[in-house]
Structures are given as C-alpha cells and as structure tokens.
C-alpha cells in the first residue's frame, strides 16, 4: 500500500485492481451529503479515459477507482474530484467524528444565514392580499424559526432565543421600513438583488462550483438545475433594474433566487444530518486492536510499545483478560481464548504452544507468550476492515428515485424554457409583425424559476426521519437509504446462527448420569465449577442456580487451563472437563463413549464429571434457540422470502438449528470473508439479499448485503456495519423492519410526486408569460408544506429529536 511523506501527504492508497493490468486507488472524500453527490462523482470519474469502474460509499466517504495506469494516473483522478468541489483526506486515517459533527455545524450556520436572507427578502416584497400571500412567510417562519432555535440550542436557551430573534429581525425591519415609507423603489429592488447575489456567491458558493464543474462535463444534475433557476431569477431582476420593461416584478425575481437557495441548503443540511447519524463502523473495528503491545526482548525484559513498532517474529506477552495485540503463534502458555470475532461462536477455544491466535481476540485465564506472524496492516482485523470498506463501496448502489426523475426532468425544463423563449419571439412576430420580447423573456425566465423542484431535496430525508421515528417506537433503528428503499425488494434473507437465531451463550441442554439423578449430577458439577471463570463452567453454575439446586463448598480448587477443573467436594476429588482431560486423568469413560458421541454429533459441547476417579455423568451444553426464531423464519417463508443459514460453527451444530427452524439451505464453517462471498454469490444470481447477524465476523457480510441487519445485542462493529439495528432481543423485528421499509418508500414516492406536482402545474402556466415569480415562491412554500405534513404529520418532534441525537452522540463520544 502506498505511503505518504511528511512534506507531501499522498491522498490516496494504491492496490491491485479487480482485473489484471489494472490498479485501484482508495480515496477519502469530505463533503459528501447525499446520493446526488455520489452519482455526480461516479459520472465525472467514469467519463475519464482509462477509468474502468468507480464505486463511492456515502457512509464511509470513500471512492474506490479501478483504472488503467497506462492511460490515466491517480493525480488526474483526484484532480477531477477537487474540480467538482470535494476535499480529500488521508485514506489511511478515519475522519474523526468531531470533524463530521463540525461539518454539520458549518452547514447549520449556512442554513441560518440562508433563512435570515430569505426572511429579509420576504420582508422586502411581502404584501398581504389574501391567504396565498401569507403562505410563503408563514411557511418559512413556522418551519425555519423552530429549526433555527434547535440548531442554536446547544449554546444555551437564552443564546438560542437571542439567535432565533436575530434571524427574524432583518425581515421584520424590512417589513416595517417598507410600511413606514422609509424603503422605496429602487432601493427595495437593489437590496433584494444584493441578497440574491449574496445567497449565490457568499452563502452557497460551493453549489455554484459544483454546478459549473458538473455542467462542463455534461452532467445535468440538481446542482445545475438549481443554479439555472437561481441565475434566472437574478437575470430577471437585472432586466427589471434597467427600467426597459414597465410594471416589472424586479424585487420578486431576486427574492425567488434567495428562496431557491434557502430550500436547497435546507435539503443539503437535512441530508447531512441523516448521514451524520450513521456512525463510522471502521473506527469501531480498529478500536478492538490494542494500541500497545507488551514486547519481550532477548534478555526477558518487557516494555510496552505501539503495535505499529512491533516487527514480524517479535515476542509479546499477553496477560489474562487482555486483548491479543497482533496475529501470532503461541510459543508458551495455555489458555482459553475468546475467538468470537472470527467464528462468532460463544465457546472459547483452548490454545497451547504451536496454536495460532488472532489479534483483537480476548485471552482467558492463562498467560501467553506469542510470536507475531502478521503486523497490523496484514493482520486479521485489518483484513476485515478492508472487507468492510470494500463491501460498502462496491455493493450494488441503489439509484434513488429522485436521481431517476432528475435525469429526465432537468433537460426537459431547459428545453421548455428555450422553446418558450423562441416560441414567443417567433409566434408574436408572425402574428403581429413585432416580437414580444417582454413576454418571451418573462416566459423563459419564469419556466426556469418555476421549474426548480425545491422540495425534491427534502423528500427522501424527511421520509427517512419519519420512518426512523416509527421504527424507534418498535425497537428498530433504520440507519441508511438501503434500509428504507431496498429492503422491500429483498427476496433472500441470510441468517447468522449464533446470537441471531440462538441466544449466543452456552446453556445446559441435556444430562446423562451414571449414578444418582440429574439434579445430583448438576449439583456436583456446579460445586466443582463455582470458582471457574470459563463460560461453560459459569453456564453450569447458572443452570443449577436457576433450578434451585444448592451445591457444597469446594476446597482445593484448581483450574487446568483449556481442559477443565479439579476440586475437593465433601472430601471427594471431583473432576469436570473435556473427555480428553478426564481420560488423561485415568478416568474410564467406556460406559459413556456412545452418549458423548451422540451429544457431540448433535452439535453440543460435552463436559464429563467424575468423583474419586469414577465417572458420574455427562452434561451437554449448547447455544439455545431464541423463543421466536421458529415463528420468525416461518413468517419470512410466508412473505415469499428464502431463508439461508450461514455460520462459522460446525456442520452438526448448524444442521441442528436448521432442522429446528425449517431452513433448508445451510452453509457451515464459514469465515468472515466467506460470508461476504456467499452474499455476493447470491447477488450474482439476481437476488436482493438481506443479511442478519450480530458479531464482528458478520461485519463484511452485513456491509456486502443489499440490506444489513444487526440483531439483538450485537457487537459495536456489527451494529455500525448494519443498515438496520434490532434493539429487541428477537428475530421477529426483521419482518417489522421490512414493513416499515415498504411504508417509508411509499412515503418517499408520494413526497417526490408532491414535489414535482406543483412544478408540473406551474411550468406549463409559466410558458404563457403571465405567471409572476411570486407564484413560484407560493409553489415552493406549498410543496414544502405538503411534503412536511406528509412525512412528519402530527410528529414534528421527530425532526428535532434527530438533531438532538447527533448532539447527544457527540457528548457521549467526548465522555468516552
């Protein structure tokens, strides 16, 4: 992987491409707001000679670009990214959450400036002539003033109130000065013109830059349409300032530009708010790897050094309870290591000299000396990190409904405007012998102004805010666009076993006694294990406690790491552990061999108990099925979904769960990257795939799936990798989330229809040359109001809760 120098930081990382002869660069991009940004980047880079594929991850602010190095270089590719208005940062580093939150604050301040400009512009032109004339100022005040207060609230209640008042004050002042005759034409029009230029050049210059760079590349996106509408308003105002056309709405044209910019900046901020609420999964994953390693030198001295400074072959000491810092091989020591991040299974793996261990896994009760076999960049966690990033960036992207419409809508509006201009010039000249320049210009500009669908930018984000609120009421967190737009199309659901269909922890499943009753056996085992720290031992003690069985105190307790325990109970020596351990202690297991094999074949972990060298019985432990798992899988089948069981556990354990739940398609013994490969295989068959999992080992698959769902008490990385998080301890939430997804998509579709409905009516009317720009403002206000009511309805608090949730997350992050 490429490295950076101190003097000239390199803003990309290189690696081999997907096909021979190709290279891939990984670039981190700041300033991504929504799918419009990702679409623009993919189009701009995709049209460069030598660029083969482009994949942009909005969540991780990352672009993966495969290219032919003989035709194009990384510098040219990144130069294009800068040209179209995006900033780059070091791809080897994660963008701190503080920076993301700061970006949201900057957009919030930009929004406050735009709201202030809009209220001032409205104050310059407002005249109460009826209900419709009140709609524009009322909409802006009712929506934007509470929003302004909420944005400023972290600074304190009094400052927030003062700030909200400052936002309103210029508009009120303009209204009063006009009413008292202090402000008159042409000062009113000049002031409105200054506001329009400020909105375009000062408040939203980044939009102008992006629109220019998109237009020069032939990309007609929403930025282009916005600037066309904004400059049409400015052009209309400038024509009015010349005084050539009498009774001309000069200030109104300028005011429309301000309002267009305001609503677009609002939609940008809203999209960024939705995006910022999704935390960074890669940072969570890397947090698992310790920052320091305890390095053992040749003279047996130990020193803590950063993991980046540990070389291959070095020896590191790992004490009980610590995370293993790097991938390695055990040189000395025995322990039980929690490797759930690799296998997802709850039972620790017994390790001894010669066994391999994975960085990030948790050491159990023994002290280990580990020889490093892979550095941080090549270790297991780093590989999973890359799988997570690549899966998110390379997964089949969803083309949002708005993007589909804008592909056709933008050139259509530009064409209608041109036709209106030429049509009125030629038509009036043909009919009267003199071209009607006033009407032709008015028609062309009015089409461009009326044509910008200002409400379309808030259509999807507001639907997401509403859907997220409904989901939260049901114990579900809907985090991404895939959760809201794609889940309804899913036909295959891949289910992880441990922690998803099962409870994710061992429990006593069955017993077999040689002498005495099952309760006697459990009491003896619990007595021996009462001081054990091993999960299996704790499960036996918990089972005895749950059933009210009391056990005798233990003396002379000894834990044999990775094998079992030895203790003296009521004067008898009691052994509890694996069959191998007891056989090695000379216990004759011939009478239990058949039963042990049966238990193990069924996917259970077996603990044998012996008293004074004679077997007392066998306890089988297994990961129990969740109570609702069978019903949840049945409901998936009833809805036409195909369930697939994928697990890192063995075939026996997987088949036992599959038989209980009625799943026919089973994939067992699968590593993390293998799960993602299975998802890709299913997707290659044309299926939309959802993945339900809860562990670190599920993260790449959760990212790769069209919809990733973290179930139950999932690990941080699983939760952060998922599109949907089920907070409830059940699997039934999967189908509830699908219902909410379907409902949210319908609401988004309705919002888009509402956004374009006003334009669909207004644009044809604008071609007559009789529609004043104030009607464009009315259409904007009406469409925004309709979408807000359709999305939020009687629950406006959902929007403000979303804003506060980001602030709260920042506070929690700072506390940690």
Contact 532, 558 (CB under 8 A): no
Contact 451, 763 (CB under 8 A): yes
Virtual torsion, Cα 486, 276, 466, 263, nearest 10 deg = -110
12: β partners? none
329: β partners? 356, 371
Task: Give the whole-number percent of the chain exceeding pLDDT 90.
Answer: 26
Per-residue model confidence (pLDDT) at position 384: 63
Active site residue 403: no
Q: Is the pLDDT of residue 464 over 90?
A: no
* Confidence tier at 94 by pLDDT (50, 70, 90): low
Which segments within 86-137 are labelled E, that is strand?
Answer: 87-89
724: β partners? 478, 709
Report the candidate in 414, 398, 401 with the shortest Cα–Cα distance to residue 456: 401
User: Please, what is the Cα angle at 384 between 378 and 389, to 5 degrees?
Assistant: 110
Contacts of 132 (CB under 8 A, 6+ apart): 778
Per-residue model confidence (pLDDT) at position 241: 93
d(CA 91, CA 19): 22
**Angstrom distances, CA of residue 399 to CA of 288, 292, 757:** 34, 44, 21
Report the candidate in 739, 733, 222 with the shortest Cα–Cα distance to residue 484: 739
Residue with more model confidence, 732 or 493: 493
Token pair of 110 as six digits:
């930009």
* Confidence tier at 377 by pLDDT (50, 70, 90): low
The mean per-residue pLDDT over the stretch 537-543 comes to 90
Give residue-wise pLDDT tens across range 469-478: 777 777 787 7
Token pair of 117 as six digits:
């400009």
* E strand or H helix that includes residue 24: strand 23-30
Report helix, strand or coil for 116.
Answer: helix
d(CA 218, CA 538): 66
Per-residue model confidence (pLDDT) at position 399: 44
The listed range with the strongest mean pLDDT (498-507, 516-525, 794-803) is: 516-525
Secondary structure letter of residue 126 according to DSSP: -
Per-residue model confidence (pLDDT) at position 800: 67
> 365 burial class (0-12, 13-18, 19+ CB within 10 angstroms)?
middle
d(CA 617, CA 615): 6
Report the candidate in 308, 304, 266 with the shortest Cα–Cα distance to residue 139: 266
Give residue-wise pLDDT tens across range 763-796: 898 898 887 777 777 777 778 778 878 877 666 6
Per-residue model confidence (pLDDT) at position 6: 41
Q: Is the pLDDT of residue 90 over 70?
A: no
The catalytic residue among 390, 496, 649, 706 is 496
> 320 burial class (0-12, 13-18, 19+ CB within 10 angstroms)?
middle
Per-residue model confidence (pLDDT) at position 285: 42
Give residue-wise pLDDT tens across range 713-745: 555 556 666 778 787 777 888 999 898 888 888
Exposed e or buried b for every residue in 462-501, given b needs 16+ CB within 10 A?
Answer: bbbbbbbbbbeeeebbbbbbbbbbbbbebebbbbbbbbbb
Q: Annotate 15-44 with three-state secondary structure.
A: EECCCCCCEEEEEEEECCCCHHHHHHHHHH
d(CA 163, CA 145): 10
Residue with more model confidence, 800 or 706: 706
Report helix, strand or coil for 732.
Answer: coil
> 268 burial class (0-12, 13-18, 19+ CB within 10 angstroms)?
buried
d(CA 813, CA 51): 39
Report the candidate in 30, 38, 11, 45 with the shortest Cα–Cα distance to residue 86: 30
> First CA to last CA across the chain, in angstroms?
32
Virtual torsion, Cα 332, 334, 338, 342, nearest 10 deg = 50
**Angstrom distances, CA of residue 513 to CA of 25, 524, 543:** 62, 12, 16
The residue written with tokens 């991780």 in the block is: 60
25: β partners? 14, 65
Q: What is the mean pLDDT of the chain?
A: 81
Task: Give the whole-number percent of the chain exceeding pLDDT 70.
Answer: 82
Token pair of 718 as six digits:
């699983």
Report the candidate in 1, 100, 85 with the shortest Cα–Cα distance to residue 37: 85
607: β partners? 619
Exposed e or buried b for every residue in 105-117, given b needs 16+ CB within 10 A?
Answer: eebbebbbbbbbb
């Amino acid at each position: 992987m490429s490295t950076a120098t101190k003097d000239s930081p390199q803003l990309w990382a290189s690696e081999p491409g997907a096909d021979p002869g190709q290279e891939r660069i990984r670039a981190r991009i700041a300033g991504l707001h929504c799918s419009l940004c990702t679409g623009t980047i993919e189009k701009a880079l995709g049209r460069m000679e030598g660029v083969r594929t482009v994949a942009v991850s909005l969540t991780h602010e990352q672009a993966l670009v495969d290219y032919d190095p003989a035709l194009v270089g990384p510098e040219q590719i990144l130069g294009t990214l800068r040209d179209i208005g995006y900033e780059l940062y070091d791809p080897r580093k994660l963008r701190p959450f503080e920076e993301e939150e700061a970006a949201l604050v900057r957009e919030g301040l930009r929004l406050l400036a735009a709201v202030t400009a809009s209220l001032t512009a409205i104050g310059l032109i407002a005249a109460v002539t009826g209900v419709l004339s009140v709609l524009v100022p009322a909409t802006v005040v009712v929506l934007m003033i509470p929003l302004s207060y909420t944005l400023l609230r972290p600074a304190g209640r009094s400052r927030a109130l003062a700030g909200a008042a400052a936002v309103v004050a210029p508009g009120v002042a303009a209204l009063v000065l006009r009413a008292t005759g202090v402000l008159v034409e042409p000062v009113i029009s000049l002031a409105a013109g200054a506001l329009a230029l400020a909105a375009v050049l000062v408040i939203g210059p980044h939009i102008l830059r992006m629109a220019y760079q998109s237009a020069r590349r032939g990309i007609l996106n929403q930025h282009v349409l916005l600037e066309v509408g904004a400059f049409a308003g400015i052009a209309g105002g400038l024509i009015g300032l010349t005084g050539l056309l009498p009774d001309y709405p000069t200030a109104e044209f300028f005011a429309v530009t301000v309002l267009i910019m305001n609503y677009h900046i609002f939609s940008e901020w809203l999209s960024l708010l939705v995006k910022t609420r999704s935390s960074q999964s890669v940072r969570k994953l890397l947090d698992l790897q310790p920052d320091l390693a305890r390095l053992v030198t040749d003279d047996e001295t130990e020193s803590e050094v950063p993991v980046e400074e540990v070389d291959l072959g070095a020896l590191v000491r790992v004490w009980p309870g610590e995370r293993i810092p790097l991938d390695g091989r055990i040189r000395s020591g025995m322990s039980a290591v929690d490797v759930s991040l690799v296998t997802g299974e709850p039972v620790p793996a017994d390790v001894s000299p010669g066994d391999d261990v994975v960085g990030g896994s948790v050491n159990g009760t023994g002290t280990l000396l580990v020889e490093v076999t892979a550095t941080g960049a090549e270790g297991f966690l780093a590989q999973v990190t890359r799988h997570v990033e690549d899966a998110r960036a390379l997964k089949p992207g969803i083309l949002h409904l708005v993007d589909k419409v804008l592909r056709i809508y933008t050139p259509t509006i530009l064409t209608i405007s041109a036709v209106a201009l030429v049509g009125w010039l030629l038509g009036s000249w043909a009919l009267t012998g003199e071209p009607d320049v006033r009407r032709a210009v008015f028609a062309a500009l009015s089409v461009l102004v009326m044509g910008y669908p200002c409400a379309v930018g808030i259509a999807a984000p507001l639907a997401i805010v509403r859907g997220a609120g409904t989901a939260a009421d049901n114990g579900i967190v809907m985090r991404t666009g895939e959760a809201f737009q794609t889940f309804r199309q899913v036909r295959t659901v891949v289910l992880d076993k441990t922690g998803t269909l099962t409870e994710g922890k061992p429990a006593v499943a069955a017993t077999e006694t040689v002498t005495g009753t099952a309760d006697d056996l459990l009491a003896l085992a619990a007595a021996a294990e009462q001081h054990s720290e091993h999960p299996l031992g704790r499960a036996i003690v918990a089972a005895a406690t749950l059933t009210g069985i009391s056990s005798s105190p233990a003396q002379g307790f000894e834990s044999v790491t990775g094998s079992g325990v030895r203790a003296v109970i009521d004067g008898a020596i009691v052994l509890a552990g694996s069959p191998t351990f007891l056989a090695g202690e000379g216990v004759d297991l011939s009478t239990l061999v058949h039963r042990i094999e049966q238990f193990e074949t069924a996917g259970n972990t077996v603990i044998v108990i012996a008293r004074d060298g004679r077997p007392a019985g066998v306890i089988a432990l297994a990961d129990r099925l969740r109570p609702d798992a069978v019903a949840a899988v049945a409901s998936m089948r009833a809805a036409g979904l195909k369930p697939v069981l994928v697990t890192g556990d063995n075939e026996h354990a997987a088949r036992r769960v599959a038989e209980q739940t009625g799943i026919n398609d089973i994939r067992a013994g699968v590593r993390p990257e293998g799960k993602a490969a299975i998802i890709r295989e299913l997707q290659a068959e044309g299926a939309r795939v959802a993945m339900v999992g809860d562990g670190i080992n599920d993260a790449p698959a959760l990212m790769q799936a069209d919809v990733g769902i973290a179930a139950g008490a999932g690990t941080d990385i699983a939760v952060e990798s998922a599109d949907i998080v089920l907070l409830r301890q059940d699997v039934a939430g999967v189908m509830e989330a699908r219902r909410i997804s379907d409902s949210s998509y319908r609401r988004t579709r309705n919002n888009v229809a509402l956004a374009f409905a006003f334009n669909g009516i207004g644009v044809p009317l604008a071609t007559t040359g009789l529609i004043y720009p104030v009607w464009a403002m009315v259409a904007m206000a009406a469409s925004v109001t309709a979408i807000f009511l359709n999305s939020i309805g009687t629950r406006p608090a959902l929007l403000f809760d979303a804003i506060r949730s980001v602030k709260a997350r920042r506070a929690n992050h700072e506390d940690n």
